[in-house]
Amino acid sequence: LLNSIDERELDARLRSPMHVMQEKFDGKRCLVRVQHGRVDGINRRGFLTGLPQSVLRAAMELPGTPLIDGELVGDVLHAFDLLEVNGADIRGKGYG
């Protein structure tokens, strides 16, 4: 989740190896699940949702069976987290 900081903290955070930042997009939150030869889009309520052909094609080229969290902006998925790999939950692992 996003955390607000004031400007005094910004410079220190930008230089710190202990912090990671990522760009925030104004899109639609979407999980992408690849399993059993198919790709599913999942919305924030947990319901299946359609995905653009570009995302479907790209997801089918991924190795294994990932579950990816991201934001859909038009026909581009901006992935920001890998939640599962080949059925293994990796949410507890560090970013590095």
Q: Name the pTM for this structure.
A: 0.81
Q: State the Cα–Cα distance between residues 77 and 6, nearest whole angstrom.
A: 30
What confidence tens digit (pLDDT) does each residue in 29-82 have? 999 999 999 999 999 999 999 999 999 999 999 999 999 999 999 999 999 999
pLDDT at position 22 over 90: no
What pLDDT score does 58 carry? 97
SS3 14: helix
Residues 6+ apart with CB under 8 A from 78: 23, 25, 27, 70, 71, 72
pLDDT at 19: 80
Instruction: Give the other-Cβ count within 10 Å of 56's Cβ.
Output: 16
pLDDT band at 1 (very low <50, low <70, confident <90, very high): low
Integer-rounded Cα radius of gyration of the chain: 16
- For residue 60, the model assigns a pLDDT of 96
Taking alpha carbons only, the member of 68, 96, 72, 61 closest to residue 84 is 68
pLDDT on residue 77? 96
